């Protein structure tokens, strides 16, 4: 039963990143200048425009890797660090991102979950 609960935790944590990226992409398609506005918004925070595709790529790849359970320990640690760094860089409320990072760190400590690609290797 515990392995199924950790699998559920892994999938729910992945949804945080996948839903953010989905909302970004929907915003890009619903507004013809959506991507340029996103880049400009990051620029107003002092970030170079190169961060726009990097943020999208990290959230997409990290979220999908967590969702399917591929290299769970590595991606959980990586996304925990990413969550804290991005909250500071984008001036977002830090407390929710610290909570997400805490859940990801717990997942990194218990990376063996049911229904994951990591289990297929064994």
What is the DSSP secondary-structure string of 53-89?
HHHHHHHHHHHHHHHHTSSHHHHHHHHHHHHHHHHHH
Half-sphere exposure of 68 (CA within 13 A, CB side): 9
The values of phi and psi at residue 35, to 5°, are -70, -40
The ranges assigned to domains in the chain are 2-115
Q: What is the pLDDT of residues 28-75, one digit of tens each?
A: 889 888 888 888 888 888 888 888 899 999 999 999 999 999 999 999
Q: What is the pTM of this model?
A: 0.88
Under 8 Å between Cβ of 13 and 100: yes
Inter-helix orientation angle 72-89/2-30, to 10°? 40
What pLDDT does 65 receive? 96
**pLDDT greater than 80 at residue 2:** no
DSSP state of 74: H
């Amino acid at each position: 039963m515990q392995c199924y609960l950790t699998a559920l935790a892994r999938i729910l944590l992945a949804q945080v990143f996948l839903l953010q990226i989905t909302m970004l992409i929907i915003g890009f398609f619903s507004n013809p200048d959506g991507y340029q506005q996103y880049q400009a918004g990051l620029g107003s925070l002092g970030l170079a425009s190169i961060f726009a595709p990097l943020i999208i790529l990290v959230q997409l790849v990290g979220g999908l890797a967590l969702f399917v359970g591929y290299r769970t320990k590595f991606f959980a640690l990586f996304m925990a660090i990413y969550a804290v760094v991005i909250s500071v860089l984008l001036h977002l409320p830090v407390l929710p991102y610290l909570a997400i990072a805490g859940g990801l760190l717990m997942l990194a400590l218990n990376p063996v979950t049911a229904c994951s690609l990591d289990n297929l290797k064994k």
